[in-house]
Amino acid sequence: MLLNIPKLLSPDLIKALCEMGHGDKILLADANYPGQSAAKRCGAVFVRADGLGVPALLEAILQLMPLDAYTDEPAMVMDVDVRDKGMKIPIHDEYRAIVAKHDARGGQAVAQYERYAFYDKADACAVIVQTGEEAVYANIILQKGVIK
């Protein structure tokens, strides 16, 4: 047991976070995302977080890991596909509120990317975490900052 470590972070996820360096990215993927195949394709560490939603995991991770201060967009979400235009994605507002609690840039630190541009960014992640999140378009990429 350790003090001050959120209980929902598994030992594998803590290890992956510790091994990430400044500028490395982590994808918190929803249950629909092809996490394992993406991790194999891009050589990322694959971690399962079954039964956990992304908001709770995002909150826990941001207690331990700062976002990159050297980029304007240290957090990235997938924009709604043209075939789903008009669909409301309230979880993105939730992400912006969580990020705002941990980053002085507030919700401005969260950028939206077109679906395939987001997949390209995801393929550059060092870590992919497959969650049990059932909300659609609930994937978020975080770029790790410097620990000072």
Of 24, 30, 68, 79, which residue is the catalytic one? 68
Residue 125 falls inside a structural domain: yes
Tally of structural domains, the chain? 1
pLDDT value of position 141: 98
Q: Mean pLDDT, the chain, as a whole number?
A: 96
pTM for the whole structure: 0.96
Residue 3 falls inside a structural domain: no
- CA 9 → CA 6, 43, 73, 115, distances in Å? 6, 22, 24, 28
Full domain range(s) for residue 76: 11-135
pLDDT tens digits in sequence order for the chain, 148 residues long:
788 999 999 999 999 999 999 999 999 999 999 999 999 999 999 999 999 999 999 999 999 999 999 999 999 999 999 999 889 999 999 999 999 999 999 999 999 999 999 999 999 999 999 999 999 999 999 999 998 8
Tens digits of per-residue pLDDT, 122-136? 999 999 999 999 999
Does the active-site annotation cover 92? no
Does the active-site annotation cover 119? yes
Q: In what order do the strands lie in the sheet with 25-29?
A: 45-49, 127-131, 25-29, 140-143, 75-78, 110-113
Tokens of 10: 């598994």
Residue 28 falls inside a structural domain: yes
Does the active-site annotation cover 22? yes
Tens digits of per-residue pLDDT, 44-60? 999 999 999 999 999 99
Residue 27 sits in a domain whose CATH number is 3.40.1650.10
Residue 131 falls inside a structural domain: yes
CB neighbour list of residue 17: distance below 8 Å, 6 or more residues apart: 9, 26, 61, 64, 65, 127, 144
